[in-house]
Amino acid sequence: GESVGLHLPTLSVQEGDNSIINCAYSNSASDYFIWYKQESGKGPQFIIDIRSNMDKRQGQRVTVLLNKTVKHLSLQIAATQPGDSAVYFCAEVNQGGKLIFGQGTELSVKP
């Protein structure tokens, strides 16, 4: 089925380290990408987005990088904290406005 793939299903990092979560997307025509965080028992929450005419966007402690040449998206979390432990999904929005999610990467932060 439709999907945006992720390279790693799990990621374990030490508290204070930086985290990098990667994502490969399939539709070169997608023009908008979003990262979501889903904590256990909760619905996904928006983290940061990026348009296809950009290659980098920064938020608070998070940075999203977009490489359209290789259809790759990454989420960087600076100074990872225990509260960052969650499953992270990337999603692409196609021209029909449909949001297509990847499998998710589970981030585990060790104190």
Partner 1 sequence: EAGVTQSPTHLIKTRGQQVTLRCSPISGHTSVYWYQQALGLGLQFLLWYDEGEERNRGNFPPRFSGRQFPNYSSELNVNALELEDSALYLCASSSPQGATPNTGELFFGEGSRLTVL
**Residues engaged in binding partner 1 (CB under 8 A):** 1-3, 31-32, 34, 36, 41-46, 49, 51, 89, 91, 93, 96-104
Tell me which residue has tokens 């999907």: 3
**CA-based nearest residue to 68, from 19, 35, 21, 33:** 33
CB of 14 to partner 1, least distance (A): 25
Q: How many CA atoms lie within 13 A of 9 on its CB side?
A: 1
User: Measuring CA to CA, which residue among 69, 72, 84 is closest to residue 18?
Assistant: 84
Nearest-approach distance from CB 82 to partner 1, in angstroms? 22
Nearer of residues 98 and 110 to partner 1, judged by Cβ: 98
Any idea of the CA torsion for 99, 36, 75, 13, to the nearest 10 degrees? -140
Query: Whose Cβ is closer to partner 1: residue 34's or residue 64's?
Result: 34
Q: How far is the CB of 98 from partner 1 (least distance, A)?
A: 5
Name which of 41 and 111 has its Cβ closer to partner 1. Answer: 41
Q: Which is nearer to partner 1, 3 or 67 (CB)?
A: 3
